[in-house]
Amino acid sequence: MATSIGFIPSWHLDETLYSWAARFHAIHGNGSARETGALLFDAEHACRERDAPRNLHHFVNVTGGTLGNVHDLLRERTAIGLYLPFLSPSMLAAVKEKINCGKGIGWRAQFGMAASSLDSASQLRYCTTCIDEDRSNLGLSRWRVSHQWLGSWVCAEHGRPLCKVSPKRSAWELPTLCSQSMPPPSVSEAELMALIHLSKLAEHVARSEALDMDSVRQLALNGFREQGVTSWSHPVDRMQLARWFKSMPIVTWLARSQGPENKLAGGEWIHDLLRDRRVDHPLKWLVLWHALFSHEDQLSTVRRLQTPVSQPHWDASGQGRIWGTALDKLPADVNELLTGVTTVVQAAEQLGTTLLSLRKRLKQSGTTLKLLRSEQSLDERFNRSKVSIQIYMDENPLCTRTDVFLHCKTPYEWLRKHRPKELLLLMAKVPHRRSRQIALFI
């Protein structure tokens, strides 16, 4: 049974959960970071999990729920909150299960952050002007959650690039004007305006409910066609999209950045983002949405992302349609029929349409019969690999993760390469079984 703490400081505006715990540590004068971690999160090394400590249920219990429940803490007080609107239904169900039961893998792995090369687990960001104001008004500085979100590289309030720091110690630390922080790269006026637009977009999306990613993807395709980046009569071209993206002001900043976001500067990832039916990394969607609709005011850009179905869609002749069915989306039964036939001629005959009409519709959808079959093949391979590992785990309930790798090497490696998030969720069912380390000295 968790023991409640006596004095519970209130939130300082938009500070993160880690910032609150660091401030609690400083106010109570705890000499040991382990003691604070054990008291607040029932984990001595909780300070290392700067995104969100694993045992949030313990924190809710010791604070009596006065600072919010687990869902509120994740959504409003951690950088993880920006992942929630982008989660697929299956991953969202897994997250809700963990929120309810409090057991399972850590939050970074649960949200797929551990499998991403676009997230830095050790970096924190701050604004020097915000630190000065916090010390004058609040007495202590804070880590602002709006500075930790994906795509937030400038302080939208002060129009200044954010400094980055990678704490090395296992400690509860608040931001300081220290020399150990990495100075932000210089920015031009056009880059600064683009970064502010992106930062505000991230802030609005973090407060959103679950996004309809299928409709978002279709609206993005329509946006490219409306702006003349690609045509209605030809499939989407990878290099054409990359050339368009490289003309955006934000790309010059990404190219100079020393963080993991640097790999987005090429733009080749946009084609895969639009073609893949899986939900990809939120940062990619934020950067793409900013680049595609940066000419619009902030509210319109956000509204397009939050309610894509309510936005008008346009057919090849330029006629607007007020209902939400996008032209690009093939009905499920048609998609199933196309992947089951041998030739396009057979598909046209079974659909009762002409070969010319079917080919035109496939081009408008940015796909071909070959691509549809390729996607189906990947889905089938994913299901086979997942089932193969699951059968081994069911037949060997005492197996370790090493056993799974050794006996299911082929499906394991395929999932690691093509579906790393699903592999993490699957392997989370295998508990860690490590023998206790023998003491070096007696």
Per-residue pLDDT tens over the stretch 22-71: 999 998 877 799 999 999 999 999 999 898 888 999 999 999 999 999 99
What is the secondary structure of 140-177 as a DSSP string? S---BHHHHSTT--EETTTTEEPEEE---SSS------
Q: What is the mean pLDDT of residues 301-329?
A: 54
Question: 272: domain range?
Answer: 192-321
State residue 316's pLDDT score: 34
State residue 99's pLDDT score: 86
311 and 410 part of one domain: no
353 and 411 part of one domain: no
Domain assignment present for 208 = yes
344 and 392 part of one domain: no
Q: Which of 113-117, 307-311, 424-428 has the lowest mean pLDDT?
A: 113-117
State residue 437's pLDDT score: 52
What single-letter amino acid sits at 178?
C
- State the distance between the two ends of the chain, measured CA to CA, in whole angstroms: 33
Instruction: Give the residue with greater pLDDT, 363 vs 289.
Output: 289
**Mean pLDDT estimate for the chain:** 83
Q: What is the mean pLDDT of residues 387-402?
A: 89
In sequence order, what E strands does 137-273 have?
154-155, 160-161, 163-165
Q: What is the mean pLDDT of residues 170-186?
A: 77
375 and 356 part of one domain: no
DSSP, res 268: T
414 and 295 part of one domain: no
38 and 114 part of one domain: yes
State residue 368's pLDDT score: 75
Tokens of 2: 């968790």
- For the beta carbon of residue 441, count every other beta carbon within 10 angstroms: 3
Query: Per-residue pLDDT for 116 more than 60?
Result: yes
Tokens of 289: 């949405």
Radius of gyration for the alpha carbons in the chain, expressed in angstroms and rounded = 24
- At residue 282, the 3 state secondary structure works out as helix
Q: Are 295 and 302 in contact (CB under 8 A)?
A: no
Q: Which of 257-261, 335-339, 407-411 has the lowest mean pLDDT?
A: 335-339
Among candidates 372, 363, 367, 370, which has minimal Cα distance to 315?
363
251 and 210 part of one domain: yes
**Pairing mode of beta strands 124-126, 160-161:** unpaired
Per-residue pLDDT tens over the stretch 132-167: 999 999 889 999 999 999 999 999 999 999 998 888
Q: Which of 5-14, 189-198, 366-375 has the lowest mean pLDDT?
A: 366-375
CA pseudo-torsion sign 352, 356, 359, 363: negative
Query: Residue 56 to residues 51, 129, 188, 217: CA-CA distances in angstroms?
Result: 12, 31, 41, 34
Count of structural domains within the chain: 4
